[in-house]
Structure 1
């Protein structure tokens, strides 16, 4: 059995994180998705996430196998939603962004383990509502969030271009 856990990313983790992100960008491109093909997320994004304590890494036998960002403050991109609505607008929510698993660890269901741990971290912070978005061509992420009973809630935009159109999902847990 492997030693698998989640910890806050540190500045020295950045090269491994960027390698995982570059591989994820290539995988999205191969899948025909324009998501992450405009240069974002970039190294500056992850430096900011790390410096604010929002970036997490998934470790397997002391190797970084995945990365994700967990925001526990409101996300400006989620203020406007079209073709639907958020189910819970009164309670605080956490947003999960930039989740990616190294190609060296794909097929091990680590995405499920990581997402479960991110939700646990959020609940530990007193948050029971979670939001996540993905491009409509990112079937892998859609499959993952549906396994956790996230509900499709509408469309958000991460910037003003049409390629920034994202499917928005929400999970509301019991208090």
Structure 2
């Protein structure tokens, strides 16, 4: 990101299409690699619209192009209330969901940049913890969160469809 101009900011309605293309591109890459986290149905436009409606979507712009996205919420995550394991803290936390980087912008540190901004947002709000979950086969995210000092805390489950439950590995970092 040396000569590139980057900006982290809240997502705007005009970012919707670019963000959706980033999310769908990441989902297609996961499917192509045989990964189980995202697929042709998730994340859907409705998931992204909910992020935008709640005001929890954030983007990174690189030279005026949206190249990365994350949903960053301070409202909690209901699935985290029934963790199979133990969280590091009982304090309020930020949660990061639906993080993706434009394929052409991979390897430029955007995911790390998002996490550093999440830490900044936490400090501004006096929130002392960040939680995230990911799939067992999302090797890039697993490597990143471990490198950034997140600690494995257990498993959470999400309802997908009417019968299927999906398991995710849950991590927390105290600030």
- After TM superposition, the score normalised by the length of structure 2 is 0.93
Corresponding position of 2:129: 129
Equivalent-residue separation in structure 2 for 1:31 and 1:151 (angstroms) = 26
Render the CA deviation track for 1:85-124: whole Å, top value 9, x for unaligned.
11101x1011000000001101112211122112212221
Corresponding position of 1:42: 44
Equivalent-residue separation in structure 1 for 2:20 and 2:95 (angstroms) = 20
Render the CA deviation track for 1:120-156: whole Å, top value 9, x for unaligned.
1222122110100000010011011112100000000
Q: Which runs of 4+ in 1 moved over 2 A?
A: none
Query: Does the 8 A contact of 2:131 with 2:170 survive in 1?
Result: yes
Matches within 5 A, 1:61-72: 61-72=63-74
Equivalent-residue separation in structure 2 for 1:55 and 1:103 (angstroms) = 19
Q: Secondary structure at the match of 2:86?
A: coil
Deviation of 1:38 after TM superposition, in Å, equals 5.5
Matched, 1:97 2:97: yes
Equivalent-residue separation in structure 2 for 1:114 and 1:87 (angstroms) = 22
Equivalent-residue separation in structure 2 for 1:106 and 1:87 (angstroms) = 31
Matched, 1:10 2:24: no
**Gaps in structure 1 of 5+ consecutive residues:** none
Equivalent-residue separation in structure 2 for 1:161 and 1:155 (angstroms) = 16
More strand by share: 2
Query: Does the 8 A contact of 1:4 with 1:61 survive in 2?
Result: yes
**Gaps in structure 2 of 5+ consecutive residues:** none
Corresponding position of 2:158: 158
Which residue of 58, 74, 77 maps to 1:75? 77
Corresponding position of 2:87: 86
Superposition CA RMSD, Å: 1.2
Equivalent-residue separation in structure 2 for 1:43 and 1:28 (angstroms) = 18
Equivalent-residue separation in structure 1 for 2:40 and 2:157 (angstroms) = 15
Render the CA deviation track for 1:25-54: whole Å, top value 9, x for unaligned.
011112211111161221111111112110
Query: Does the 8 A contact of 1:11 with 1:47 survive in 2?
Result: no
